[in-house]
Amino acid sequence: MLKVRLRSIDDLQHDMASLVAGILIVSYITRCTERAAAIFVSTIYCLAALPRTSDCLAATLSTRATDQTPPFIVDKLQSSQQSGTFTLDTRTVRRALLHVDLHANQGHSHGVRVEMQRIESPCGLQKVEDGRPRDHHKLRCAVHRSSLRAREVGKKLHAHGSKGTKAGDNLPGGTSAGGFTATVAAARGEYLATVRLGTPERVFSVIVDTGSDLTWVQCSPCGTCYSQNDSLFIPNTSTSFTKLACGTELCNGLPYPMCNQTTCVYWYSYGDGSLSTGDFVYDTITMDGINGQKQQVPNFAFGCGHDNEGSFAGADGILGLGQGPLSFPSQLKTVFNGKFSYCLVDWLAPPTQTSPLLFGDAAVPTFPGVKYISLLTNPKVPTYYYVKLNGISVGGKLLNISSTAFDIDSVGRAGTIFDSGTTVTQLAGEVHQEVLAAMNASTMDYPRKSDDSSGLDLCLGGFAEGQLPTVPSMTFHFEGGDMELPPSNYFIFLESSQSYCFSMVSSPDVTIIGSIQQQNFQVYYDTVGRKIGFVPKSCVGRG
């Protein structure tokens, strides 16, 4: 047993190097894990900082949930789940030991964490007259919303290169004409996060969307605003607020920059007819650091919306996590190094279960078995996270689909996208036909739910309480690694009809990996390293 006698702080600091060296030698001799060595080293560091020992030890000894068993029987291919292990880069610990004073001023070196809450769309909140459980109605709304988003992505890709649709001659707020509406995919992501803007800071709830770049909130005075739970952002109450000037790099980064005299104006029109327009502004954004300290970033550019039409599920605005120059990750690249990740809880989980959204070093996956795939560049549409998908297997058999069906074509259309704002995965037409045919052929033992109203193409019915179907395995073969889906990520159970429905639909040309298929994976984005990583993980709780 290793015993450490507490001495004075001066003595401990004097002996620090010897103690650390001794512990690492013992760890090597006894073949301790790197995790154990890191805990020993971190503990000694905590003892050297006695006023904060309790907090430090709590952070050192924290653990996470490691696995989750899907409620299905997978036929033909059984994927063995490795037990979760923990790794900790000892270089991080060494940096903390050597630069304790600097650590307090560089919270962003570890990153920030935001809890996302899944919200119902306005459609999903409509009253169900027949008194049945809401799941059918909610799923039908999600299918419709996802299909609409896919169509609008396709329209954007087809329309790119044209001059666009000219905006009205008299834009809101006295803006001079000369811009064009920038049609982007319908922003109906289902995950809500909080950010704090201004000085003094104010809290706002925004929809998290990897399919758009611009961050905006509703602002006062507001000519037209939809209803939201929080009060509007009031620019003249923030001492750090300022408007962007015309001709600045960020203003020119708007799809179609406009000016109101000398200040920058934005105009975003979403694919479903919703829009936001107003001043393009700077202010301080504040988030909570992993180390418990606030991370404040001045001069964050966002839209101060004075005319906002449509319904955004009662959110105060949008947090744009796309790849474009205006997005949150792009603007804070020097702070978070272009890194963020999320881990989405089950789509049918209660709203009290939140999904973590992490930025910076904290976003990097530490679980074993992470697969990394390269991000592709589509200069026609820089916002979306394109990847190379080579094929799809069902029941262990590679389907007869040309790899070009997943590719960006010569004019920038089609391709395969990761998108948290699309709920139900969209498969390009011919791809969906092959996948659906394989799923049908592999589930012939189960009756079809012919009267299903979910909007999905395949629903298996006739299940007694507690009975589970046997379904074929499904794998996405990306360039760089395979993504083996747990069955709950592609068959959704509907309590109201005791049926299981295949939760992927057909899209005109683009393939979008949606949030249901991403649930219970940690999905990691690295815009600097140009890659996406993913690893199975239980997303329940704060782990």
Interval 263-275: pLDDT, tens: 999 998 876 778 9
Q: State the amino acid at position 257 in one-letter form.
A: P
| Torsion over CA: 503, 488, 320, 414 (sign) | negative
In DSSP notation, 492-514 reads EEETTTTEEEE-EEEESS-EEE-
pLDDT band at 294 (very low <50, low <70, confident <90, very high): confident
Domain enclosing residue 185, as ranges:
180-335
Which residues in 503-534 are b (16+ Cβ under 10 Å) and which e?
A: bbbbbbbbbbbbbbbbbbbbbbbbbeeeebbb
Most confident among 241-250, 262-271, 451-460 (mean pLDDT): 241-250
Tell me what the mean pLDDT of segment 300-325 comes to. 92
Query: What CATH code is carried by the domain that includes residue 475?
Result: 2.40.70.10
Span 457-480, pLDDT tens digits: 999 987 776 678 899 999 999 999
Q: Is residue 323 part of a domain?
A: yes
Mean pLDDT of the chain: 75
- Asked whether the beta carbons of 111 and 362 are under 8 A apart, the reply is yes
* In a shared domain, residues 314 and 219: yes
Domain stop point among 298, 320, 335: 335
* In a shared domain, residues 207 and 267: yes
* In a shared domain, residues 449 and 529: yes
Cβ neighbours of residue 89 closer than 8 Å, sequence gap 6 or more: none
Domain stop point among 335, 353, 372: 335
Phi/psi for 185 (5° steps) reads -60, 145
Number of helices and strands (H, E) in the chain? 11, 31
Span 76-130, pLDDT tens digits: 333 333 332 222 232 222 222 222 222 223 333 478 999 998 876 555 444 445 5
Q: What strands lie across the sheet with 389-394, from one edge to the other?
A: 397-398, 389-394, 474-478, 481-485
* In a shared domain, residues 265 and 385: no
In 3D space, the residue among 454, 519, 449, 508 whose CA is nearest the CA of residue 485 turns out to be 519
pLDDT band at 21 (very low <50, low <70, confident <90, very high): very low
In 3D space, the residue among 289, 279, 217 whose CA is nearest the CA of residue 248 turns out to be 279
pLDDT band at 29 (very low <50, low <70, confident <90, very high): very low
Span 191-231, pLDDT tens digits: 899 999 999 999 999 999 998 899 999 999 999 999 998 99
pLDDT band at 158 (very low <50, low <70, confident <90, very high): low
* In a shared domain, residues 317 and 387: no
* In a shared domain, residues 199 and 311: yes
* In a shared domain, residues 505 and 423: yes
pLDDT at residue 5 above 70? no
pLDDT at residue 249 above 70? yes
Q: How many domains does the chain have?
A: 2
Span 314-368, pLDDT tens digits: 899 999 999 999 999 999 999 999 999 999 998 878 878 899 999 999 999 998 9
279 catalytic, yes or no?
Answer: no
Q: What is the per-residue pLDDT for 380?
A: 87
* In a shared domain, residues 203 and 287: yes
Q: What does the alpha-carbon distance between residue 184 and residue 270 come to, in Å, rounded to a whole number?
A: 5
Q: What is the per-residue pLDDT for 242?
A: 97
Question: At which residue do the structure tokens 């999904």 appear?
Answer: 355
- Asked whether the beta carbons of 231 and 221 are under 8 A apart, the reply is no
Structure tokens, 353 = 């279960």
pLDDT top residue among 20 and 502: 502
Q: Taking each helix axis from N to C terminus, what angle separates 53-60 and 34-48, rounded to the nearest 10 degrees?
A: 170
pLDDT at residue 371 above 90? yes
Q: What does the alpha-carbon distance between residue 169 and residue 36 come to, in Å, rounded to a whole number?
A: 67
- Asked whether the beta carbons of 442 and 436 are under 8 A apart, the reply is no
Structure tokens, 501 = 């429905």
* In a shared domain, residues 209 and 148: no
Among the listed residues 419, 452, 509, 526, the single catalytic one is 419
419 catalytic, yes or no?
Answer: yes
Strands 112-118 vs 191-197: parallel, antiparallel or unpaired: antiparallel
pLDDT band at 162 (very low <50, low <70, confident <90, very high): very low
- Asked whether the beta carbons of 422 and 151 are under 8 A apart, the reply is no
Name the E strands within 172-288: 180-184, 191-197, 202-209, 216-218, 242-243, 258-260, 263-270, 275-288
Q: Is residue 387 part of a domain?
A: yes
Q: Is residue 87 part of a domain?
A: no
pLDDT at residue 40 above 80? no
Q: What does the alpha-carbon distance between residue 214 and residue 206 come to, in Å, rounded to a whole number?
A: 12
Tell me what the mean pLDDT of segment 65-72 comes to. 37
In 3D space, the residue among 266, 263, 349 whose CA is nearest the CA of residue 302 turns out to be 266
Q: How large a percentage of the chain has pLDDT more than 90? A: 50
Q: What does the alpha-carbon distance between residue 117 and residue 455 come to, in Å, rounded to a whole number?
A: 25
Phi/psi for 492 (5° steps) reads -100, 130
Among the listed residues 135, 209, 346, 407, the single catalytic one is 209
- Asked whether the beta carbons of 238 and 300 are under 8 A apart, the reply is no
Burial of 315 (0-12, 13-18, 19+ CB in 10 A): buried
- Asked whether the beta carbons of 55 and 41 are under 8 A apart, the reply is no
* In a shared domain, residues 223 and 282: yes
Q: What strands lie across the sheet with 491-494, from one edge to the other?
A: 459-460, 499-502, 491-494
Q: How far is CA 416 from the centre of its chain?
A: 16
pLDDT top residue among 498 and 67: 498
pLDDT band at 493 (very low <50, low <70, confident <90, very high): confident
* In a shared domain, residues 369 and 302: no
* In a shared domain, residues 142 and 187: no
Q: Is residue 408 part of a domain?
A: yes
Query: To which H or E segment does residue 102 belong?
Result: helix 100-103
Domain stop point among 335, 370, 402: 335
Q: Is residue 115 part of a domain?
A: no
